[in-house]
Amino acid sequence: MGKAKSEKKETVKTDKPKSDIKKDANIIDENKKESIIEEKISVVEEIIKKNVLHTPTAVKCGDSIGNRGLLYGINSLDQFDPTVYGLSPKFCLTDFTDLKELLEGLQIDNESEAKIEDDQSNTISEDKDKLMGIGLDCCVTKIRDSDLLLVQTTDFFYPLVDDPYLMGKITCANVLSDLYALGVTICDNMLMLLGICSAFSETERKTVVKLIIKGFRDQAKLAGTRINGGQTIVNPWMTIGGTATTVCKPTEIINPNQAVVGDVLVLTKPLGVQVAVNAYRWLYNPERSARLKLVVTEDDVRLAYYRACDMMARLNRPAARLMHKYNAHGATDVTGFGILGHANNLANIQANPVSFVIHNLPIINKMSVVSKACGNAFGLLTGTSSETSGGLLIIMQREQATLFCKEFEKIEGCPAWIVGVVEKGDRTARIIEKPRIITVPAKEVSGKLW
Q: Are residues 167 and 202 in the same domain?
A: yes
pLDDT, residue 15, reads 55
Q: Are 322 and 170 in contact (CB under 8 A)?
A: no
Cα angle value 5/11/16 (rounded, 5°):
140
Q: Are residues 326 and 405 in the same domain?
A: yes
- 219 CA to centre of own chain: 12
Q: Are residues 199 and 340 in the same domain?
A: no
Question: Domain holding 273: CATH number?
Answer: 3.90.650.10
Question: What are the angstrom distances between the C-alpha of 160 and each of 45, 115, 163?
Answer: 25, 28, 9
Q: Is residue 116 part of a domain?
A: no
Q: Are 414 and 450 in contact (CB under 8 A)?
A: yes
Q: Is residue 39 part of a domain?
A: no
User: Where are any strands of DSSP class E within 57-148?
Assistant: 130-132, 138-142
Q: Are residues 299 and 415 in the same domain?
A: yes
Q: Are residues 320 and 410 in the same domain?
A: yes
Q: How many whole angstroms separate alpha carbon 331 and alpha carbon 181? A: 5
Q: Is residue 385 part of a domain?
A: yes
Supply the DSSP string of 1-45, one letter for each residue.
-PPPP-SPPPPPP----HHHHHHHHTTS-GGGHHHHHHHHHHHHH
Q: Are residues 364 and 411 in the same domain?
A: yes
Burial of 99 (0-12, 13-18, 19+ CB in 10 A): middle
Residue that finishes a domain, picked among 189, 221, 253? 253
Q: Are residues 248 and 267 in the same domain?
A: no
Domain total of the chain: 2
Q: Are 435 and 380 in contact (CB under 8 A)?
A: no
Question: Domain holding 142: CATH number?
Answer: 3.30.1330.10
Q: Are residues 142 and 186 in the same domain?
A: yes
450 residues of the chain, pLDDT tens digit each: 444 444 444 444 455 555 554 455 454 455 554 554 455 445 444 433 433 333 333 333 333 333 333 333 444 445 689 999 999 999 999 999 854 454 444 444 445 444 544 444 433 334 555 455 545 678 999 999 999 999 999 999 899 999 999 999 999 999 999 999 999 999 999 999 999 999 999 999 999 999 999 999 999 999 999 999 999 999 999 999 999 999 999 999 999 999 999 999 999 999 999 999 999 999 999 999 999 999 999 999 999 999 999 999 999 999 999 999 999 999 999 999 999 999 999 999 999 999 999 999 999 999 999 999 999 889 999 999 999 999 999 999 999 999 999 999 999 999 999 999 999 999 999 999 999 999 999 999 988 889
pLDDT, residue 448, reads 86
Q: Are residues 281 and 224 in the same domain?
A: no
Domain residues for the domain of 236 are 78-102+130-253
Q: Is residue 24 part of a domain?
A: no
Q: Are residues 275 and 235 in the same domain?
A: no
Q: Is residue 309 part of a domain?
A: yes
Predicted structure pTM score? 0.80
Beta-carbon contacts of 366 under 8 Å, excluding residues fewer than 6 positions away, are: 296, 300, 301, 303, 304
Q: Is residue 29 part of a domain?
A: no
69 C-beta neighbours (distance < 10 Å), count? 7
Q: Are residues 240 and 320 in the same domain?
A: no
Residue that finishes a domain, picked among 197, 231, 253? 253
Q: Is residue 82 part of a domain?
A: yes
pLDDT, residue 41, reads 45
Q: Are residues 162 and 214 in the same domain?
A: yes
Burial of 424 (0-12, 13-18, 19+ CB in 10 A): exposed
Q: Is residue 12 part of a domain?
A: no
Residue that finishes a domain, picked among 213, 230, 253? 253
Sign of CA dihedral 436, 444, 413, 309: positive
